[in-house]
Amino acid sequence: MAEAKEISKEETMKRILLVLNCIIQVLGACGGPLVMRLYFIHGGSHIWLSSFLQCAGFPIMFIPLFISYIIRRHTTAAAAATTNTTKMKMFTIKLPLFGIFAIIGVLQGLDTITYSIGLSRLPVSTSALVIATQLAFTAIFAFLLVKQKFTAYSVNAIIMLILGAAVLALQGRGDKPIGESNKKYVMGFVMTLLAALLFGFIMPLIELVYKKTKQDITYSLVVELQIVVSFFSTLLAIVGMIIAKDFKAIPKEARHFGLGETSYYVLLVATAIICQLASLGAMGVIFCSSSLLSGIMVAMSIPLTEVLAVLFYKEKFQAVKGISLILSLWGFVSYFYEGG
């Protein structure tokens, strides 16, 4: 009876974590592109800096990690009826897992730079449309890497969400920024598509590692892994910033930023935090469920991103965007109708 209650408690906690991480990922997936695009709209031009901001917020992950460490110490002490817990370590990650996620961090670094190039040349709505294709890539790689099983509901969800994004493509190049050449626009489109491909590969790869590793995966360890991934992504971005001399250019860019110097630095910090939370949300969803659900959360955020782009950036909300919203909601409901 006690064992059954313990299992029930673990399942309840996992469901709560799943809901929280889904919310975090969706909000991050919406807010990230908006604040990143704001940087480019008002005079920002440094691609490597934008890439850096997508992963440099990882120090905030030490807050939940430290809280988890304190809870584990307390739990261990209570179970052993002793306060001698000095041997417990904050970091539980082992070397093999560290090495694998260091490589994943480099891959994520490549993903952030391709995404930054794309977002610098595409409006938020168009970029969101292209990123939606990551769901198809995630489904393909999930099938190949982790033998993802598809039901009629999950297949319908994927079709509806991709269809919702495809409908937006009917806008053609109507959203192309004024004064931007066709060549740059196409390059932005291609780089964003490449970012979607990389993201669609990274998520199932993380799920595969979760399944294959000999180390027990806990949510605390997931936070540690997020730190490792972001650390190596940040290192790659720093190398790029040094080569491009972005560090020296930041003060000058801040002085000429359209929203003011103070707003410039606030925007940089906000971008780093939002993107970091979105990444943690994605890894958390994979831990609690699957990479496919993580991909669906990104696709689900697209209609919301479209609405926010209309409100804040005065982008047109055409009929096709309304249709896309309905199809995306349909796909979202379809996936959860069966219980995911």
- What is the C-alpha separation between 335 and 244, in angstroms, rounded? 44
In a domain, 41, yes or no: no
Whether residue 9 is contained in a domain is answered as no
Residue-number span of the structural domain to which 173 is assigned: 46-74+90-337
Confidence band, pLDDT 50/70/90 cuts, at residue 340? very low
The answer as to whether 252 is a domain residue is yes
34 occurs within a structural domain: no
Q: What is the pTM of this model?
A: 0.87
27 part of a folded domain: no
Q: Is residue 15 part of a domain?
A: no
pLDDT in tens, 275-327: 999 999 999 999 998 998 898 888 778 778 877 877 877 766 667 767 777 87
Spacing of C-alpha 186 from chain mean position: 24
- How many domains are there within the chain? 1
Tell me the pLDDT tens digit for each residue of 242-276: 999 999 999 999 999 999 999 999 999 999 999 99
User: Does 291 reside within a domain?
Assistant: yes
Query: pLDDT tens, 124-167?
Result: 877 887 787 788 888 889 989 998 888 887 788 778 877 876 77
- Distance CA(314)–CA(321), nearest Å, equals 14
